[in-house]
Amino acid sequence: MPLVQISMCSGKSDAFRQAIFDGIYHALNQEFDVPEDDQFMTITEHSAANFRYGATYLDIARSDDLVFIQISANNTRSTEQKKALYRRIAALLGEDPGLRPQDVFVNLVEVSKENWSLGLGEAQYA
C-alpha cells in the first residue's frame, strides 16, 4: 500500500498531472505488485521561488520540469525490485507526459507493516 507524494513546479496542465499519477501507478503495479485500486497519491505544486534543486548534482542535468516523487511503502521489496521500479517510472513518465529521465527524482521511504492505518483506526497490515 504505497503512499505517493509528488512535488513539482506549478503551471502544468491537468492532463500532465494525471499522466504522472497514471505512470507512477502503472510502474508500482508492474514492479511492486501493487493491486488494482491501491492508489493513494497527491501532487503539490510550488512556485519557482518555493522549489529548489541541485541542477547538476551527481552530473545529472535537471530542468525546471523536475518532479520529486516520494513513495512510502512496506519494507518488503528487494534491491532489484526497487531498481526496476525507478527505471519503469522514468520510462513511463518519459512516454507520457514526456518527462526527461533526468527530471524524475524518486525517493523510497520504507516502513514496517504495522506503521499503516488505512482507515477505521485499525492497523490493517499488523
Catalytic annotation, residues: 2
Question: Which of left, alpha, beta for 37 (phi over 0: left; psi -120 to 50: alpha)?
Answer: left
Interatomic CA distance for residues 47 and 25, integer angstroms = 25
Q: For residue 71, how many other CB atoms are within 10 A of its CB? A: 23
Q: For residue 119, how many other CB atoms are within 10 A of its CB? A: 6
Interatomic CA distance for residues 27 and 6, integer angstroms = 15
Alpha helices, H only, 32-99: 79-95
